[in-house]
A and B are shown apart, each in its own frame.
Chain A
Amino acid sequence: MKDLWAGQAMEEKQKEVLAKMIRKKSHPILKKISRQLALEAGSWLVVLSVYYSMFDGQMRPWVGNGVFIIGILQAIAFNISAYLAARNLIQGDNLVSSLSRYIIELRKFKWISLFSRIIMMGAILFFFLYGLEMNTRRTFTVLFISLIFAGQLWFLQNQWSQKISKLVRLKADFTIPG
């Protein structure tokens, strides 16, 4: 078996190709994530720059505007910090300790992520509902929007939980004696 394993054919990469791989700019995954991040952050910044005139920001008190702006800015800040933290895959002197620390970090990020999303959703609702006289139709609309938000939260927590439980299973595969 060892001979067959040692003789596996592998292509050889030149040093110039390897050199490109350590540049963040040419990293395929980092590029994809940072592009997505820039797009998301850009879209929210556009919303922030036009909401005041488009959604009657001037007619609402400063508290409503402040909550709206902070709610969105903190979500952008969280996305950036999560993007940076997700790159810290290697966190220990061996694989199991590295996985353990990574799992702890992901669990922390899961809660921060959910909390950040709740703040953002709450801020949006607060801004649009501030001073609004409620009637049956509006109440149902708010309930419907809240349901959509809740669905998004469930989807988000589900994504995090799947990632975390995969790593927990993997760690258990190593640590539970054969």
Chain B
Amino acid sequence: MDESYFLQLISTHQQIIHKVCKLYRDTSSDREDLFQEIVFQLWRSIDNFRGQSAIGTFIYRIALNTAMATFRRERKKIINYVDQVPEMSSDDEDLSTAERKGLLMAAIKMLEEADRAIIALVLDEYSYREIGEILGITENNVGVRVSRIKNKIKVLLINSYGI
């Protein structure tokens, strides 16, 4: 593929890469390294993209694969967002949208790596069939997992933040 066309595609879909970096790395420098690694891996694999699926699906697959397969020093599960969260009211109407976004991301990051991938794809409105194709699992398995993950997120939000 032509380099400038590739860069245009990545530029248009870079939000996918940012989301994956945010989900799988805790510090900004780790996220920056992962972002670069994903773009590099995409460039290496782009010729295998045959247009059978949407380009976004392809980017998601390579991004998730890269995030999970690259090795990094294991850190204790510390969620940075927690420090930024103010005292919570039991009434979630009091939370600003930005705070709610932060809490959602923090809760998703507490999930297992496999579950993070599934819920990210669900929230980006991929169908169960597409998710199954990206991950290599059955549609049925995706369905079972999605409801379980949603429950986990609810429990995490209630237990950790009281909302």
Chain A residues with a Cβ under 8 A of chain B: 1-2, 4-15, 18-19, 21-22, 24, 27-30, 87, 89-90, 92-99, 102, 163, 166-167, 170, 173-175, 177-178
Is the Cβ of B70 less than 8 Å from the Cβ of A7? no
- Chain B nearest CB from A46 CB (Å) reads 29
Question: Is B159 close to A, CB under 8 A?
Answer: no
Is the Cβ of B7 less than 8 Å from the Cβ of A92? no
Contacting residues, chain B, for A12 (C-beta < 8 A): 14
A19 to B42, CA, bound (A): 12
Closest partner residue, chain B, to A10 (CB atom): B18
Is the Cβ of A8 less than 8 Å from the Cβ of B19? yes
A35 to B18, CA, bound (A): 28
Contacting residues, chain B, for A6 (C-beta < 8 A): 123-124
- Chain B nearest CB from A113 CB (Å) reads 15
Number of A-B contacts (CB under 8 A): 130
- Chain B nearest CB from A174 CB (Å) reads 5
For window 127-152 of B, CB contacts with A under 8 Å fall at 133-137, 140-141, 144-145, 148
Question: Is B97 close to A, CB under 8 A?
Answer: yes
Question: Is B79 close to A, CB under 8 A?
Answer: no
A19 to B5, CA, bound (A): 11
A167 to B19, CA, bound (A): 21
The A contact surface, by secondary structure, is helix
The one of B3, B66, B153 in contact with A90, judged by C-beta atoms closer than 8 angstroms, is B66
Is the Cβ of B136 less than 8 Å from the Cβ of A22? no
Is the Cβ of A174 less than 8 Å from the Cβ of B66? no
- Chain A nearest CB from B22 CB (Å) reads 7
Is the Cβ of A170 less than 8 Å from the Cβ of B70? no
- Chain B nearest CB from A57 CB (Å) reads 39
Question: Is B104 close to A, CB under 8 A?
Answer: yes
Known contacts A13-B14, A18-B10, A95-B68, A7 near B136 by CB under 8 Å? no
Is the Cβ of B104 less than 8 Å from the Cβ of A5? yes
Is the Cβ of A1 less than 8 Å from the Cβ of B104? yes
Closest partner residue, chain A, to B147 (CB atom): A178
Known contacts A2-B125, A102-B69, A177-B144, A19 near B135 by CB under 8 Å? no
Is the Cβ of B69 less than 8 Å from the Cβ of A175? no
The one of A9, A90, A163 in contact with B65, judged by C-beta atoms closer than 8 angstroms, is A90
- Chain B nearest CB from A163 CB (Å) reads 6
Is the Cβ of B113 less than 8 Å from the Cβ of A170? yes
The one of A19, A90, A173 in contact with B45, judged by C-beta atoms closer than 8 angstroms, is A90
Closest partner residue, chain B, to A23 (CB atom): B40
Contacting residues, chain B, for A170 (C-beta < 8 A): 68, 113-114
Known contacts A2-B123, A10-B18, A170-B114, A89 near B141 by CB under 8 Å? no
Closest partner residue, chain B, to A177 (CB atom): B141
- Chain A nearest CB from B137 CB (Å) reads 6
Task: Known pairs A90-B41, A94-B136, A174-B114; list 11 more (Cβ under 8 Å).
Answer: A4-B100, A21-B40, A22-B40, A27-B36, A29-B37, A30-B40, A87-B44, A97-B136, A98-B136, A163-B71, A175-B137
